[in-house]
Amino acid sequence: TLTDNDIRLESIGDRASLPPKCQKELEAAIEKTSANKRMTLILALSYSGKWDITQATKRIAIDVQEGKLKAEDITQNTIDNYLVTSGIPDPELLIRTSGEQRISNFLIWQMAYTEFFITETLWPDFRKEHLYEALVSYQERERRFGKTSEQIKK
* Mean local confidence (pLDDT), 85-110: 92
Judge whether residue 66 has pLDDT over 90. yes
pLDDT value at residue 150: 84
List pLDDT tens digits, range 72-97: 999 999 999 999 999 888 999 999 99
List pLDDT tens digits, range 122-151: 989 999 999 999 999 999 988 888 888 888
pLDDT value at residue 148: 85
Judge whether residue 35 has pLDDT over 90. yes
Judge whether residue 61 has pLDDT over 80. yes
pLDDT value at residue 59: 98
DSSP letters of the chain? Answer: -TTTTTEEEEEES-GGGS-HHHHHHHHHHHHHTTT--SEEEEEE-S--HHHHHHHHHHHHHHHHHTTSS-GGG--HHHHHHHSTTTTSPPPSEEEE-TT--S-TTSSTTTTTT-EEEE-SS-GGG--HHHHHHHHHHHHTS---TT--HHHHH-
pLDDT value at residue 147: 80
Judge whether residue 154 has pLDDT over 80. no
pTM of the model: 0.79
Enumerate the domain spans of the chain: 1-47, 49-88, 93-141
Q: What is the chain's mean pLDDT, rounded?
A: 93
Judge whether residue 153 has pLDDT over 90. no
pLDDT value at residue 149: 83
